[in-house]
Amino acid sequence: METSISNRLSTRILAASSEVLREMGFGLHPDIYKLCLYNELLARNTNIILDYRIPVFYKNTPINFNIQVDLFVENTVMIIICNKNQITSADETMMKSALSIAKKPLGLLLNYHSPNFIHSFKKISNPIRTANNNAL
């Protein structure tokens, strides 16, 4: 059930992201796209948090550090926006770790470097939640 909700939500986010790319073009600073996507999702009546901070704990002790993602949508999908040649395995690993720490099901890496939208995003599932859901 959670997977289908996450998938529908990611489809809605990607549609909004595509609209931002269509309106703004590609190659601008990531913060411009972050604010445009934030406004686009708000206009679509989406519950969204800008610059979401995830507290980090070591052995149940909080450390004085937070992981920050650009947008957090409907308490489900974490989004990081970039503008570079390609999304790397390091970007994917960082998102997986953030998802695990936050205990959230899905992340989207959105790259506004290229006009080819189909290659400009990467959907990342939380590996721990996926393994636990498959074990049930």
**Joined tokens for residue 57:** 């704990």
The rounded distance, in Å, linking the Cα atoms of 41 and 135 is 34
Phi first, then psi, for residue 47 (nearest 5°) are -75, 120
Mean pLDDT, to the nearest integer, of 83-90? Answer: 92
The rounded distance, in Å, linking the Cα atoms of 91 and 4 is 24
The whole-model pTM stands at 0.88
Q: How confident is the model at residue 134 (pLDDT cuts 50, 70, 90)?
A: very low
Question: How many folded domains does the chain comprise?
Answer: 1
Q: How high does pLDDT run on average in the chain?
A: 90
Residue 128 has pLDDT above 80, yes or no: no
Mean pLDDT, to the nearest integer, of 130-136? Answer: 48
Indicate which CATH number applies to the domain containing 118: 3.40.1350
pLDDT at 7: 86
Quickly tell me which residue has 């790319």 as its tokens.
21
Phi first, then psi, for residue 89 (nearest 5°) are -65, -30
Eight-class DSSP state of 60: T
pLDDT at 136: 39
Range of the domain at 19: 2-135
pLDDT tens, residue by residue, 2-56: 678 888 999 999 999 999 999 999 999 999 999 999 999 999 999 999 999 999 9
